[in-house]
Amino acid sequence: ASVAMDTESTYSGYSHYSGRSRGSHRHGERSRDRHKSRSKDSRSEKSVTINTLPAEPLLGDSSLRGEKVQDDNWGETTTAITGTSEHSLSQEDIVRITKDLEDSVGLDCRHYVTRSIAVILGLLVFFTPLAFLVLPHILWPEKLQSCGTACEGLFISVAFKLLILLLAVWALFFRPARAGLPRVFVFRILLAVLVLLFVISYWLFYSVRILDSQDENYQGIVQYAVSLVDALLFIHYLAVVLLELRQLQPCYSVCVTRATDGETRHYNLGQLSIQRAALAVIEHYYCDFPIHNPALLSASKSRAAKHLAGLKVYNVDGPGNNASAGIAQSQSRAMIAAAARRRDTSHNELYYEEAEHERRVRKRRARLVVAVEEAFTHIKRMQEEEPKKAPGDVMDPREAAQAIFPSMARALQKYLRTTKQQHCHSMESIQQHLAFCITNNLTPKAFLESYLTPGPTLQYGKDHWLGRRWTLISEASVTSGLKDGSIFLLKCVDFSLVVTSRKIPYVQMSEEYIDPKSHKFVLRLQSETSV
């Protein structure tokens, strides 16, 4: 076999394989598929899913990906293609989709079950003190002693404490959910169990010492109910400490790296579990990281493919000759050697390619800036002439944006194509942003900032982040706390985030006293000066 640099030939060196080798190759693929399925099942125990928003159909992800690939001409050349689709679903894909749908349904059911249990427990806690006060009047009213002034004052205390407890529980536990976590929150479960045991113990004592004996001291019963409400208020204070205050002090510094382009951010987190730390990382990602642009990553891949496209391997002995047993190994060595020789000049190609791209970007940017400034100047002229026009001729910001958009559309479209941002901005979103800038009297530079500098994900349309599913992969249990050196991954459809944690070191600070008298100086003047 010999290596040639001829790119016009289409003959492949892999044609020397016989039918037997192809059969063994298919057998090897089947064995590898079985091995992958077994390894996939073993790894599935370590991966869980986080829904950052209320769950949507799984196929919405693929539909969103289809919506992102929009026409660069913004609807000027719309083509409808019918016929056989080139994309197909295998049996494994159908099984995977079914499993993901079952997981999403399970998450929804668990969410409703958890909310129902919380509501039932809250009603039990709220109505238990009232039941303690009402049951004696229903069961043995003739035996009860009269309630004096102190007893009636306790009624007011119970009423206000229950109102405070109701508002506090609503503010802490019945807030809108930020995400659907894969596992339960341990501290919430502990607090719920503590409250349940506490209420059950109070009911047992009440049934044995008050209901069975039909206690006549109603003031003591009221004080018993007041003690229950006081204890519930203290448990709520414990919940505030465990759920809110405990995580405020930073204990760990986490490094978040996007796997595709290496974009990195650092954040300080408190004492959180791995799943809650993952939720905090995702929230920071949407606000801090620039939007993920897969089009920018395809340039390096296409460049590497272009360098290797000219390497062809030929089998001069013919496809049916099996005399040379090590032909595959020799082909690999020949390919590596040829690629190494071409690598010596590839950096020059990369340098000139990047220089040409930067020149085109600067050129498109200059044309865009001039076109936008001229359009905004026209808007200013229209605003100056507006008082002279009739009421029916005055345009609102939306109409003004549609009027001046064609003058800058071509320059903006070419710039977005050059910087590979055309899939991030649609014509409708650009016109809405232009109308917003006109309404709030923003400058042309403020309008262009959204297109010249990539912003965070939340600044773009909802199709870039709405309904996105995240998968948390961790060797440790996701309910365990962060530790020094903890590593976990957050995967979504297009990329993944690698998160590593480091404990903030303990700082030892000492004090050194400086005598104020040591800051005094003496100026010595010499009578003789240099000539």
The answer for residues whose C-beta is within 8 angstroms of residue 199's C-beta and 6 or more apart is 124, 125, 128
User: Could you tell me which residue, 365 or 383, shows the higher pLDDT?
Assistant: 365
Instruction: Please report the pLDDT score of residue 43 as a whole number.
Output: 40
Residue 418 Cα distances to 296, 320, 415, angstroms: 10, 49, 5
Phi and psi of 484, rounded to 5°?
Answer: -70, 120
Cα end-to-end distance, the chain, whole Å: 88
Residue 530: strand, helix, or coil = coil
Report the C-alpha gap between 182 and 164 in whole angstroms: 32
pLDDT-wise least confident of 174-183, 221-230, 248-257: 174-183
> Coil, strand or helix: which one is 487?
strand
* Residue range 18-77, pLDDT digits in tens: 344 444 444 444 444 444 444 444 444 445 555 544 433 333 333 334 444 445 555 344
419 near 361, Cβ under 8 Å? yes
Q: Give the residues across from 254 on adjacent strands.
A: 267, 501
Residue with tokens 């109701």: 166
Q: How far from the centroid of its chain's Cα atoms is residue 200's Cα?
A: 41
What confidence tier does 165 reach under pLDDT thresholds 50, 70, 90? very high
Q: Per-domain residue ranges for the chain? A: 106-245, 252-293+466-503
Kindly report, residue by residue over 237-274, the tens digit of the pLDDT.
999 999 999 999 999 999 999 998 889 999 999 999 99
pLDDT of residue 253: 95
The predicted model gives 367-377 an average pLDDT of: 91
**Is the distance from CB of 276 to CB of 494 less than 8 angstroms?**
no
pLDDT in tens, 61-105: 333 344 444 455 553 443 333 333 344 444 445 445 554 544 554
Write the pLDDT tens digit of every residue in 99-124: 454 455 455 676 778 788 888 998 99
Confidence of residue 160 (pLDDT cuts 50, 70, 90): very high
- Those residues whose C-beta lies under 8 Å from the C-beta of residue 356, and which sit 6 or more positions away, are none
3-state secondary structure 324-358: CCCHHHHHHHHHHHHHHHHHHHHHHHHHHHHHHHH
pLDDT digits (tens, 9 = 90+) for 433-449: 999 998 898 899 999 99
Whose structure tokens read 């019945």? 174
Which one, of 115, 236, 234, 243, lies nearest residue 188 by Cα?
A: 243
Neighbour count for residue 158 (Cβ, 10 Å): 21
Token couple for 372: 């936008």
Q: CA 198, CA 175: separation in Å to the nearest integer?
A: 24
Q: What is the pTM of this model?
A: 0.67
Contact 133, 221 (CB under 8 A): yes
Among the listed residues 483, 466, 430, 405, the one whose alpha carbon sits nearest the alpha carbon of residue 54: 466
Nearest alpha carbon to residue 265 among 274, 250, 255, 278? 255
Would you say 462 and 54 are in contact if contact means Cβ atoms under 8 Å apart? no
- Residue 285 buriedness (CB in 10 A; 0-12 / 13-18 / 19+): buried
What values do phi and psi take at 15, rounded to 5? -75, -5
pLDDT value of residue 95 = 45
| Pairing state between β 252-258 and 496-503 | antiparallel
